[in-house]
Amino acid sequence: MTQNKPNNFNYPSHYADVFGSKMHYVETGEGDPILFLHGQPTWSYLWRNIMPHLEGQGRLIAVDLIGYGLSDKPDLDYEMSDHIKYIDKFIEQLGLKNITLVIHDWGSFFGFNYAMHHAENIRGVAFMEAILFPVPGYDSFDEQTHNFFKTLRSSQETAEHMMVDQNLFIEAVLPGLIVRELTEDEQNGYRQPWSDPDARKILCKFPQNLCIAGEPENINDIQQDYMTWLQESEIPKLLLHSDPGCLIPKAMADWCKDNLPNCDTVFVGDGLHYIQEDSPDKIGKTISNWLRRI
């Protein structure tokens, strides 16, 4: 069943048929595509305050991962290979060429992987709070994050209790990693796709697949491959980072500036992980200015 978008998300909805399921996306404008990829537990709604800054600079497309947002939730394992397959097919179905990727969280994992394998089809990559190197080990986390991942990955039953029964990612993790306080309408915008508890089972998958100490091995291999590629590729890159950040603190932003060719790094203000909610204007304007240069 097609759901209505929140009132504060005004871009027109479209649906692409991908492997027999509908993938929802919003689109506006024309020209070379600018493709926005979200992560966990968000959807295209994440980009609602950034897209206006890029209007007139291309065909803006923000897609919902399969199983997320207003996309269908088919009977899949929702492994990372499933998402890779669906995103690749979505891009093919829409005939997207000379793409600029704007990516965040697990959307960065899929975006970097796509760019590595289709470099000839990429104009540039803008990334923020992205999944770069695998996490060396649980000791890399602060105590709260360490306990969160250890507990969630201890058993499927525990994971589903946290994600399904407690709706922890929506009600605690998401707002807890934003500096400002979301309005009730904004929080409801993120709640909306997850109103059915059964649908929330797939929220276990991304945290279970975060590569920690080399596991899962297949995820480790993909990350190591695209990190090698990123250090070799001259494709224009833009890193937007915040203080203190989560996945990309200042030390990692400095590393990217020193080690990734043709990479601009721009500080966008105070923020944790979902920096689109804290600094949308700065992010949007920075991407807009960068696009005019590349």
Q: Enumerate the active-site residues.
A: 105, 129, 273
Token pair 């946290």 is found at 162
Which are the contacts of 279, defined by CB distance < 8 A and separation ≥ 6? 242, 268, 269, 270, 271
Phi and psi at residue 267, to the nearest 5°: -80, 130
Return the closest-CA partner of residue 52 out of 79, 70, 34: 34
Question: Distance (Å, rounded) from C-alpha 125 to C-alpha 28?
Answer: 19
Segments in the chain forming alpha helices (H) = 80-94, 106-117, 143-152, 156-160, 168, 174-176, 184-191, 205-209, 217-230, 250-259, 280-293
AA letter at 172? A
Rg, Å, the chain Cα set: 18
Q: Mapped to the 3 state alphabet, what secondary structure does 43-59 carry?
A: CHHHHCCCHHHHCCCCE
How many beta carbons lie within 10 A of that of residue 225, not counting itself? 14
Label the pairing between strands 99-105 and 33-37.
parallel
Question: Distance (Å, rounded) from C-alpha 143 to C-alpha 210?
Answer: 17
Which are the contacts of 145, defined by CB distance < 8 A and separation ≥ 6? none
